[in-house]
Amino acid sequence: MEKRKSGEDYQNELSVLRNSLKSLEAHIGARLVKLSTMFPQAVIVKKRVDIFRAKDMTKSWIDGLDTDTKIKYIRNIEDWLKEQEQYKQGTMEF
């Protein structure tokens, strides 16, 4: 038979989840900062005539973004990197 959780058990579990979420959000922000410094020419957002590149982002600006937007920008940088690989010289197999 399983023991019923008490209010304190739920509070502790919630605290652990909140700490995990804070840690994940910090890792996401740090990853975006790292990618933006590694690949400053990466296109983050394209709007008709405007192009927003990774070099245009500052750490304090990134810190102000919501987590979903940070993830979107990380994915945009990753997509940009994939596009760049298409232009690399390939090797021929015989």
* Mean pLDDT across 37-61: 89
Reported for 42-48, long-range contacts at CB under 8 A and 24+ positions apart, including other chains, are: 42/76, 42/77, 42/80, 42/81, 43/76, 43/80, 44/73, 44/76, 44/77, 45/73, 45/76
Dist. CA 68–CA 17, nearest whole Å: 18
Query: pLDDT at residue 63 above 80?
Result: yes
pTM for the model: 0.79
Reported as half-sphere exposure (CB side, CA atoms, 13 A), residue 65 has a value of: 21
